Protein backbone atom coordinates (compact mmCIF):
# COMPACT_ATOMS: atom_id res chain seq x y z
CA UNK A 1 0.00 0.00 0.00
CA UNK A 2 2.79 2.40 0.90
CA UNK A 3 4.50 1.67 -2.40
CA UNK A 4 1.27 2.34 -4.33
CA UNK A 5 0.69 5.64 -2.54
CA UNK A 6 4.29 6.69 -3.25
CA UNK A 7 3.85 6.00 -6.96
CA UNK A 8 0.55 7.94 -6.99
CA UNK A 9 2.16 10.89 -5.22
CA UNK A 10 5.05 10.87 -7.70
CA UNK A 11 2.73 10.87 -10.72
CA UNK A 12 0.57 13.68 -9.30
CA UNK A 13 3.78 15.64 -8.70
CA UNK A 14 4.90 15.03 -12.31
CA UNK A 15 1.46 16.15 -13.53
CA UNK A 16 1.79 19.39 -11.54
CA UNK A 17 5.27 19.87 -13.03
CA UNK A 18 3.64 19.62 -16.46
CA UNK A 19 1.05 22.18 -15.39
CA UNK A 20 3.82 24.47 -14.13
CA UNK A 21 5.63 24.05 -17.45
CA UNK A 22 2.38 24.72 -19.29
CA UNK A 23 2.15 28.09 -17.54
CA UNK A 24 5.89 28.67 -18.08
CA UNK A 25 5.74 27.67 -21.76
CA UNK A 26 2.51 29.55 -22.48
CA UNK A 27 3.24 32.68 -20.42
CA UNK A 28 4.14 34.30 -23.72
CA UNK A 29 0.55 33.87 -24.90
CA UNK A 30 -0.70 36.12 -22.09
CA UNK A 31 2.09 38.65 -21.69
CA UNK A 32 4.00 39.00 -24.98
CA UNK A 33 1.67 41.64 -26.40
CA UNK A 34 1.64 43.67 -23.17
CA UNK A 35 5.44 43.62 -23.13
CA UNK A 36 5.96 44.36 -26.83
CA UNK A 37 3.55 47.33 -26.71
CA UNK A 38 5.27 48.56 -23.51
CA UNK A 39 2.04 48.45 -21.51
CA UNK A 40 3.82 46.76 -18.61
CA UNK A 41 7.33 45.66 -17.75
CA UNK A 42 7.94 41.92 -18.15
CA UNK A 43 7.95 41.46 -14.37
CA UNK A 44 4.64 43.29 -13.88
CA UNK A 45 3.08 41.53 -16.87
CA UNK A 46 3.74 38.03 -15.53
CA UNK A 47 2.27 38.95 -12.15
CA UNK A 48 -0.82 40.36 -13.87
CA UNK A 49 -1.28 37.26 -16.04
CA UNK A 50 -0.56 34.83 -13.19
CA UNK A 51 -3.28 36.39 -11.03
CA UNK A 52 -5.94 35.88 -13.68
CA UNK A 53 -4.62 32.38 -14.43
CA UNK A 54 -5.08 31.59 -10.73
CA UNK A 55 -8.69 32.76 -10.38
CA UNK A 56 -9.91 31.29 -13.68
CA UNK A 57 -11.58 28.31 -11.94
CA UNK A 58 -14.12 30.74 -10.43
CA UNK A 59 -15.52 31.54 -13.90
CA UNK A 60 -15.59 28.23 -15.78
CA UNK A 61 -17.00 24.76 -15.36
CA UNK A 62 -14.87 21.63 -15.70
CA UNK A 63 -15.98 20.52 -19.17
CA UNK A 64 -12.44 20.49 -20.59
CA UNK A 65 -11.12 18.46 -17.63
CA UNK A 66 -13.81 15.83 -18.23
CA UNK A 67 -12.94 15.59 -21.94
CA UNK A 68 -9.22 15.16 -21.25
CA UNK A 69 -9.88 12.70 -18.43
CA UNK A 70 -12.19 10.36 -20.31
CA UNK A 71 -12.73 11.70 -23.85
CA UNK A 72 -9.36 11.20 -25.62
CA UNK A 73 -8.56 7.61 -24.66
CA UNK A 74 -10.79 5.19 -22.79
CA UNK A 75 -10.50 5.68 -19.04
CA UNK A 76 -10.79 1.91 -18.56
CA UNK A 77 -7.32 1.30 -20.05
CA UNK A 78 -5.59 4.04 -18.07
CA UNK A 79 -3.06 2.99 -15.47
CA UNK A 80 0.06 4.51 -13.88
CA UNK A 81 2.30 3.66 -16.83
CA UNK A 82 -0.07 5.28 -19.34
CA UNK A 83 -0.16 8.50 -17.33
CA UNK A 84 3.63 8.42 -16.93
CA UNK A 85 4.07 7.97 -20.67
CA UNK A 86 1.60 10.73 -21.55
CA UNK A 87 3.23 13.25 -19.20
CA UNK A 88 6.75 12.29 -20.30
CA UNK A 89 5.84 12.83 -23.95
CA UNK A 90 4.18 16.18 -23.29
CA UNK A 91 6.92 17.51 -21.00
CA UNK A 92 9.72 16.41 -23.36
CA UNK A 93 8.13 18.09 -26.37
CA UNK A 94 7.49 21.27 -24.36
CA UNK A 95 11.16 21.42 -23.38
CA UNK A 96 12.33 20.87 -26.95
CA UNK A 97 10.12 23.62 -28.40
CA UNK A 98 10.86 25.99 -25.51
CA UNK A 99 14.60 25.58 -26.08
CA UNK A 100 14.22 26.61 -29.73
CA UNK A 101 11.78 29.41 -28.86
CA UNK A 102 8.95 27.90 -30.91
CA UNK A 103 5.41 28.49 -29.55
CA UNK A 104 4.01 24.98 -29.85
CA UNK A 105 0.93 23.72 -28.06
CA UNK A 106 1.20 22.24 -24.55
CA UNK A 107 -2.41 21.12 -24.95
CA UNK A 108 -1.83 19.06 -28.03
CA UNK A 109 1.46 17.74 -26.66
CA UNK A 110 -0.62 16.29 -23.82
CA UNK A 111 -3.22 14.92 -26.24
CA UNK A 112 -0.44 13.36 -28.32
CA UNK A 113 1.07 11.92 -25.15
CA UNK A 114 -2.24 10.35 -24.12
CA UNK A 115 -2.81 8.85 -27.56
CA UNK A 116 0.75 7.54 -27.84
CA UNK A 117 0.74 5.91 -24.41
CA UNK A 118 -2.80 4.58 -24.83
CA UNK A 119 -2.04 3.01 -28.22
CA UNK A 120 1.21 1.55 -26.85
CA UNK A 121 -0.82 -0.27 -24.20
CA UNK A 122 -4.04 -1.29 -25.96
CA UNK A 123 -3.71 -0.49 -29.67
CA UNK A 124 -5.91 1.92 -31.60
CA UNK A 125 -8.98 0.62 -29.78
CA UNK A 126 -7.91 2.73 -26.82
CA UNK A 127 -8.76 5.94 -28.70
CA UNK A 128 -12.10 7.65 -28.12
CA UNK A 129 -12.68 8.73 -31.71
CA UNK A 130 -15.23 11.48 -30.99
CA UNK A 131 -13.02 13.30 -28.51
CA UNK A 132 -9.86 13.00 -30.60
CA UNK A 133 -11.62 14.18 -33.76
CA UNK A 134 -13.11 17.18 -31.93
CA UNK A 135 -9.71 18.12 -30.56
CA UNK A 136 -8.00 17.62 -33.92
CA UNK A 137 -10.53 19.81 -35.70
CA UNK A 138 -9.89 22.49 -33.08
CA UNK A 139 -6.19 22.43 -34.05
CA UNK A 140 -7.20 23.79 -37.45
CA UNK A 141 -10.16 25.97 -36.49
CA UNK A 142 -8.78 27.75 -33.40
CA UNK A 143 -5.99 29.69 -35.17
CA UNK A 144 -8.24 30.37 -38.18
CA UNK A 145 -11.02 31.67 -35.94
CA UNK A 146 -8.57 33.81 -33.97
CA UNK A 147 -7.05 35.17 -37.18
CA UNK A 148 -10.40 35.99 -38.80
CA UNK A 149 -11.86 37.63 -35.69
CA UNK A 150 -8.70 39.69 -35.07
CA UNK A 151 -8.65 40.78 -38.72
CA UNK A 152 -12.28 41.91 -38.53
CA UNK A 153 -11.75 43.75 -35.22
CA UNK A 154 -8.58 45.44 -36.47
CA UNK A 155 -10.24 46.57 -39.71
CA UNK A 156 -13.16 47.98 -37.68
CA UNK A 157 -10.76 49.84 -35.39
CA UNK A 158 -8.85 51.28 -38.36
CA UNK A 159 -12.12 52.36 -39.98
CA UNK A 160 -13.63 53.91 -36.83
CA UNK A 161 -10.46 55.82 -35.91
CA UNK A 162 -9.38 56.61 -39.45
CA UNK A 163 -9.53 60.39 -38.92
CA UNK A 164 -8.33 60.37 -35.32
CA UNK A 165 -4.85 61.36 -34.22
CA UNK A 166 -2.73 58.19 -33.85
CA UNK A 167 -1.06 59.06 -30.54
CA UNK A 168 -4.18 59.54 -28.34
CA UNK A 169 -5.88 56.60 -30.06
CA UNK A 170 -3.00 54.22 -29.32
CA UNK A 171 -2.76 55.62 -25.80
CA UNK A 172 -6.44 54.74 -25.24
CA UNK A 173 -5.93 51.19 -26.56
CA UNK A 174 -2.87 50.82 -24.38
CA UNK A 175 -5.13 51.25 -21.35
CA UNK A 176 -7.80 48.97 -22.85
CA UNK A 177 -5.19 46.21 -23.05
CA UNK A 178 -5.55 45.83 -19.29
CA UNK A 179 -9.08 44.55 -20.00
CA UNK A 180 -8.23 42.41 -23.03
CA UNK A 181 -5.14 40.85 -21.41
CA UNK A 182 -7.14 40.06 -18.26
CA UNK A 183 -9.81 38.30 -20.30
CA UNK A 184 -7.23 36.40 -22.30
CA UNK A 185 -5.38 35.27 -19.16
CA UNK A 186 -8.70 34.11 -17.70
CA UNK A 187 -9.38 32.10 -20.85
CA UNK A 188 -5.86 30.67 -20.79
CA UNK A 189 -6.11 29.60 -17.14
CA UNK A 190 -9.62 28.27 -17.65
CA UNK A 191 -8.78 26.05 -20.63
CA UNK A 192 -5.19 24.98 -20.04
CA UNK A 193 -5.20 24.23 -16.31
CA UNK A 194 -8.18 21.93 -16.80
CA UNK A 195 -6.13 19.58 -18.95
CA UNK A 196 -3.90 18.66 -16.02
CA UNK A 197 -6.96 18.44 -13.77
CA UNK A 198 -8.33 15.79 -16.12
CA UNK A 199 -5.05 13.84 -16.05
CA UNK A 200 -4.83 13.80 -12.24
CA UNK A 201 -8.53 12.98 -11.84
CA UNK A 202 -8.41 10.01 -14.21
CA UNK A 203 -5.24 8.80 -12.45
CA UNK A 204 -7.10 8.90 -9.12
CA UNK A 205 -10.08 7.16 -10.74
CA UNK A 206 -7.92 4.39 -12.20
CA UNK A 207 -6.34 3.72 -8.80
CA UNK A 208 -9.67 3.62 -6.97
CA UNK A 209 -9.32 6.95 -5.13
CA UNK A 210 -12.47 8.37 -6.79
CA UNK A 211 -15.61 6.40 -6.05
CA UNK A 212 -18.76 6.51 -8.14
CA UNK A 213 -18.91 8.65 -11.29
CA UNK A 214 -15.81 10.31 -12.69
CA UNK A 215 -15.33 13.82 -11.27
CA UNK A 216 -12.56 16.28 -10.43
CA UNK A 217 -11.95 16.83 -6.68
CA UNK A 218 -11.61 20.44 -5.56
CA UNK A 219 -8.06 19.97 -4.24
CA UNK A 220 -7.05 18.92 -7.77
CA UNK A 221 -8.68 22.05 -9.22
CA UNK A 222 -6.93 24.49 -6.89
CA UNK A 223 -3.56 22.67 -7.10
CA UNK A 224 -3.57 22.88 -10.90
CA UNK A 225 -4.53 26.56 -10.93
CA UNK A 226 -1.73 27.38 -8.47
CA UNK A 227 0.83 25.36 -10.46
CA UNK A 228 -0.10 27.10 -13.71
CA UNK A 229 -0.03 30.55 -12.09
CA UNK A 230 3.44 29.84 -10.65
CA UNK A 231 4.67 28.71 -14.06
CA UNK A 232 3.38 31.92 -15.61
CA UNK A 233 5.29 33.92 -12.99
CA UNK A 234 8.57 32.47 -14.27
CA UNK A 235 7.63 33.05 -17.92
CA UNK A 236 9.15 31.55 -21.09
CA UNK A 237 11.17 34.53 -22.30
CA UNK A 238 12.48 32.85 -25.43
CA UNK A 239 8.91 32.45 -26.68
CA UNK A 240 7.90 35.95 -25.52
CA UNK A 241 10.36 37.38 -28.03
CA UNK A 242 8.91 35.24 -30.82
CA UNK A 243 5.27 35.99 -30.03
CA UNK A 244 5.59 39.66 -29.18
CA UNK A 245 8.08 40.84 -31.77
CA UNK A 246 8.87 38.03 -34.20
CA UNK A 247 5.64 37.44 -36.12
CA UNK A 248 4.60 41.03 -36.88
CA UNK A 249 4.95 44.52 -35.43
CA UNK A 250 2.20 45.11 -32.88
CA UNK A 251 0.80 48.45 -31.68
CA UNK A 252 -1.51 48.79 -28.65
CA UNK A 253 -4.63 48.75 -30.87
CA UNK A 254 -3.40 45.53 -32.49
CA UNK A 255 -2.59 44.03 -29.09
CA UNK A 256 -6.11 44.81 -27.89
CA UNK A 257 -7.70 43.24 -30.99
CA UNK A 258 -5.51 40.11 -30.83
CA UNK A 259 -6.09 39.52 -27.11
CA UNK A 260 -9.83 40.18 -27.36
CA UNK A 261 -10.16 37.77 -30.28
CA UNK A 262 -8.14 35.13 -28.46
CA UNK A 263 -10.21 35.55 -25.30
CA UNK A 264 -13.50 35.16 -27.20
CA UNK A 265 -12.23 31.99 -28.88
CA UNK A 266 -11.03 30.50 -25.56
CA UNK A 267 -14.26 31.36 -23.74
CA UNK A 268 -16.31 29.62 -26.43
CA UNK A 269 -14.04 26.55 -26.54
CA UNK A 270 -13.94 26.17 -22.75
CA UNK A 271 -17.72 26.41 -22.47
CA UNK A 272 -18.01 23.66 -25.11
CA UNK A 273 -15.42 21.46 -23.37
CA UNK A 274 -12.91 21.62 -26.23
CA UNK A 275 -9.23 21.50 -25.17
CA UNK A 276 -7.91 24.01 -27.69
CA UNK A 277 -4.43 25.45 -27.91
CA UNK A 278 -4.05 28.93 -26.45
CA UNK A 279 -0.82 29.18 -28.45
CA UNK A 280 -2.56 28.40 -31.74
CA UNK A 281 -5.33 30.84 -30.96
CA UNK A 282 -3.23 33.89 -30.07
CA UNK A 283 -0.73 33.23 -32.87
CA UNK A 284 -3.57 33.20 -35.38
CA UNK A 285 -4.91 36.42 -33.89
CA UNK A 286 -1.49 38.11 -34.18
CA UNK A 287 -1.30 37.07 -37.84
CA UNK A 288 -4.80 38.52 -38.36
CA UNK A 289 -3.65 41.87 -36.95
CA UNK A 290 -0.68 41.85 -39.31
CA UNK A 291 -2.90 41.02 -42.30
CA UNK A 292 -5.07 44.07 -41.55
CA UNK A 293 -2.15 46.24 -42.66
CA UNK A 294 -0.80 44.19 -45.56
CA UNK A 295 0.18 40.59 -46.32
CA UNK A 296 3.88 41.43 -46.21
CA UNK A 297 3.53 42.73 -42.64
CA UNK A 298 3.57 39.09 -41.44
CA UNK A 299 6.92 37.32 -41.27
CA UNK A 300 5.76 34.21 -43.09
CA UNK A 301 9.07 32.37 -42.70
CA UNK A 302 8.74 32.39 -38.92
CA UNK A 303 5.02 31.67 -39.14
CA UNK A 304 5.75 28.57 -41.25
CA UNK A 305 8.19 27.29 -38.57
CA UNK A 306 5.42 27.65 -36.00
CA UNK A 307 2.96 25.77 -38.24
CA UNK A 308 5.44 22.92 -38.65
CA UNK A 309 5.79 22.72 -34.87
CA UNK A 310 1.99 22.44 -34.64
CA UNK A 311 1.91 19.65 -37.24
CA UNK A 312 4.65 17.68 -35.49
CA UNK A 313 3.42 18.14 -31.91
CA UNK A 314 0.93 15.26 -31.61
CA UNK A 315 2.97 12.59 -33.44
CA UNK A 316 6.29 13.53 -31.77
CA UNK A 317 4.80 13.75 -28.27
CA UNK A 318 2.96 10.49 -28.98
CA UNK A 319 6.13 8.69 -30.04
CA UNK A 320 8.01 9.83 -26.93
CA UNK A 321 5.00 8.83 -24.80
CA UNK A 322 4.86 5.33 -26.33
CA UNK A 323 8.55 4.76 -25.55
CA UNK A 324 8.09 6.16 -22.04
CA UNK A 325 5.07 3.92 -21.46
CA UNK A 326 7.12 0.78 -22.13
CA UNK A 327 9.82 2.09 -19.81
CA UNK A 328 7.30 3.02 -17.10
CA UNK A 329 5.42 -0.26 -17.30
CA UNK A 330 8.50 -2.06 -16.00
CA UNK A 331 8.73 -0.20 -12.69
CA UNK A 332 5.32 1.38 -12.03
CA UNK A 333 3.71 -1.80 -10.73
DSSP result, 14-75: HHHHHHHHHHHHHHHHHHHHHHHTTSS-HHHHHHHHHHHHHGGGGT--SHHHHHHHHSSB-G
pLDDT tens for the 333 residues of the chain, in order: 577 788 888 999 999 998 988 787 766 666 666 676 677 777 777 788 888 888 988 888 888 888 888 888 988 899 999 999 999 999 998 888 877 766 677 778 888 999 999 999 999 888 888 888 888 888 778 888 988 999 999 999 989 988 888 788 888 888 888 888 889 888 888 888 888 999 999 989 888 888 878 889 999 999 999 998 888 877 655 545 544 444 446 778 888 898 899 999 999 988 888 888 777 788 788 888 888 776 655 665 556 666 676 778 889 999 999 999 988 887 776
pLDDT (0 to 100) of residue 81: 92
* pLDDT at residue number 296: 58
- What pLDDT score was predicted for residue 243? 47
- Dihedral sign of CA atoms 261, 265, 270, 276 in order: negative
Helix (H, G, I), strand (E, B) or coil at 208: coil
196 within 8 A of 20, measured Cβ to Cβ: no
pTM of the predicted model as reported, rounded to 2 decimal places: 0.83
3-state secondary structure of 127: strand
Give the Cβ contact number of residue 241 at 10 Å.
Answer: 15
Amino acid sequence: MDHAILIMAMLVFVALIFDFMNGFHDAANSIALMVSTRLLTPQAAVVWAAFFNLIAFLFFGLHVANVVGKGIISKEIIDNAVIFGALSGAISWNLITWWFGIPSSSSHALVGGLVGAGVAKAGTGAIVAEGLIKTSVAIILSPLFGMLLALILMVLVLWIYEKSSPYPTERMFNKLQFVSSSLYSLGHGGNDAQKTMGIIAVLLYANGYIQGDFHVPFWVVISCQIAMACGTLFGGWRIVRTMGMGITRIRPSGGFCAQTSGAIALFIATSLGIPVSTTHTITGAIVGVGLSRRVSAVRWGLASRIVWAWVLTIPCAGLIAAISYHFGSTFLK
